[in-house]
Amino acid sequence: MRLTVIGTGYLGATHAACMAELGHEVLGVDVDPDKIAALRAGQVPFHEPGLPELIQKHTASGRLRFTTDYAEAGTFGEVHFVCVGTPQRKGSEGADLTYVDAAFAAIAAHAAEGSLLVGKSTVPVGTAERLASLFEGAEVAWNPEFLREGFAIEDTLRPDRLVFGVRSSHAETTLRKVYAPVLDAGTPVVTADFPTAELVKTAANAFLATKISFINAMAEVCEAAGGDVGVLAEAIGYDDRIGKKFLRAGVGFGGGCLPKDIRAFAHRADELDVSLAFLREVDAINMRRRDKVVALARELCGGAVLGARIAVLGAAFKPDSDDIRDSPALNVAARLRLDGADVTVYDPEALDNARKAYPLLGYAISAEEALRGADLVLHLTEWPQFREIDPERAARLVARPRIVDGRGALDGERWAAAGWHFRALGRPAPAGERPLRGLLGGKRTT
Ligand SMILES: NC(=O)c1ccc[n+]([C@@H]2O[C@H](COP(=O)([O-])OP(=O)(O)OC[C@H]3O[C@@H](n4cnc5c(N)ncnc54)[C@H](O)[C@@H]3O)[C@@H](O)[C@H]2O)c1
């Protein structure tokens, strides 16, 4: 089949490459000429494992091309996937739909009679219905996307499920044809009306955010009551009905999806006169964990971070990504910098993006360089290589061996045994830790 993919960011570039991998001829469309030039040259302007190779493979095979020209897109194929951004609207919790509206209007103006315009962007319920009423010659369908950055190709080619929001058997048959190899591999497909298809996506994100904030709320209780949220999570996670996934207490979620999606969902529910007030608490718990890391940093620095050298391990909002949108790590780093700390950030992939967005922070080109001479270390993005840092060797690099594990991923006993003052969210200090002295009173190890 001949497909277009409109909007070639994280979602669209992945979708375009994966559709070519499924055997389709694909034209990627974006309004950003620099992005299109890079993609044409086989360069992906963000970090996604395997994606550059897949794009190069299919630009070379001739199955994947890129353009900025909507007229070319309109005549190219009869199925058009819209993958443009839906960020938070300025000054509101709601979603900004200007990009979605513009992309649908532009492709509808050029699409052949009978084309299928398939929305993949995450949108407030009611959007598909509204768009469908605007275009006469083309049909609308909604096919929400659930991919995770870092696993985007795997999640697109072997998704947990596909959701088809359709109004006609023609639309369903067309989508089944597009995804035939995925369906043949046994992927379940859920066919739904427009509102349900849109809501599946926002409900899934709301559930995941709630699970993360639930365990982070338990961390708050553990901090107040002297419990250990790591042990608590393990114990409740043995219950199949609860499960272990997304139950790691830490500095919370960020990125370009969960925060804006739960806000947009609560906002849309208000418009529908339904209360999803709990999602605002989910958001508030999440933001309070950032405050907690800042508070722990102050505590470990003897009450204030002014003048302290702080190494921040991580800038991306999660590992295997260079996406820094609403990154908890950079949010904490920037706040400590404002409090007068000398902050040095290291991340394996996100340094360029971080530098552009936070030019006043210091940056290191390795974890070792960031650690050297630090009064405090903050572990804020769960890259596997940070788990592999040897605490004894690290203790020799820093000025003072103090660390906050904001991801609940490090072995506190091991770090404490190597002489570190170790703090993790919702967990007591490891047994046998030496008493902590303030920044000024503490003895430097170098
Ligand atoms: N990133 C993810 O992991 C992910 C996962 C599932 C769903 N989503 C959803 O997918 C959508 C896109 O997210 P993203 O992360 O890819 O965003 P992004 O910002 O990386 O990409 C959006 C792209 O759309 C382009 N664009 C904007 N207006 C356009 C127009 N009128 N015509 C053509 N191109 C246009 C932009 O130039 C940009 O390249 C959002 O609704 C998001 O919530 C994202």
**Cα separation, 427 vs 130, whole angstroms:** 49
Whether 86 contacts 120, CB under 8 Å = no
Whether 107 contacts 78, CB under 8 Å = no
- DSSP string covering 364-431: -SSHHHHHTT-SEEEE-S--HHHHT--HHHHHHHSSS-EEEETTS-S-HHHHHHTT-EEEETTSPPPT
Rounded to whole angstroms, the Cα distance separating 261 from 281 reads 14
Side-chain half-sphere CA neighbours of 307 within 13 A: 6
Task: Judge if the beta carbon of residue 320 lies within 6 A of ligand 1.
Answer: no
What is the distance between the alpha carbons of residues 222 and 7, in angstroms, rounded to a whole number?
44
Q: Which tokens go with 330?
A: 């950079």
Tell me the CA–centroid distance for residue 79 and ligand 1, in Å.
18
CA dihedral 123, 124, 129, 131 (to 10 degrees): -50
Position 303 scores a pLDDT of 95
Cα-to-centroid distance, 10 and ligand 1 (Å): 6
Whether ligand 1 lies within 6 angstroms of the CB of 147 is answered as yes
pLDDT tens per residue, range 362-399:
999 999 999 999 999 999 999 999 999 999 999 999 99
CB of 122 within 6 A of ligand 1: the answer is: yes
Cβ 145 under 6 angstroms from ligand 1: yes
Along the 446 residues of the chain, how does pLDDT read in single tens digits?
A: 999 999 999 999 999 999 999 999 999 999 999 999 999 999 999 999 999 999 999 999 999 999 999 999 999 998 999 999 999 999 999 999 999 999 999 999 999 999 999 999 999 999 999 999 998 889 999 999 999 999 999 999 999 999 999 999 999 999 999 999 999 999 999 999 999 999 999 999 999 999 999 999 999 999 999 999 999 999 999 999 999 999 999 999 999 999 999 999 999 999 999 999 999 999 999 999 999 999 999 999 999 999 999 999 999 999 999 999 999 999 999 999 999 999 999 999 999 999 999 999 999 999 999 999 999 999 999 999 999 999 999 999 999 999 999 999 999 999 999 999 999 999 998 887 766 654 444 445 44
CA of 319 to the centre of ligand 1 (A): 20
Q: Is 124 in the pocket of ligand 1 (CB under 6 A)?
A: no
Q: Which long-range contacts (CB under 8 A, 24 or more apart) does 411-420 make?
A: 415/391, 417/391, 418/391, 418/392, 418/394, 419/392, 419/395, 419/445, 420/391, 420/394, 420/395
Report pTM: 0.94
| Torsion region of 246: left, alpha or beta (phi above 0 gives left; psi -120 to 50 gives alpha) | left
**Considering only CA atoms, which residue is closest to atom 28 of ligand 1?**
99
Q: Ligand 1 mean position to 134 CA, how many Å?
A: 22
Residues with a catalytic annotation lie at 257
Helices marked H in 41-191 — which ranges? 51-61, 70-76, 98-110, 127-132, 152-157, 169-178, 180-184
Q: Whose CA is nearest to atom 32 of ligand 1?
A: 103
Report whether residue 149 contacts ligand 1, using a CB cutoff of 6 Å: yes
In the chain, how long is the greatest CA-to-CA distance?
76
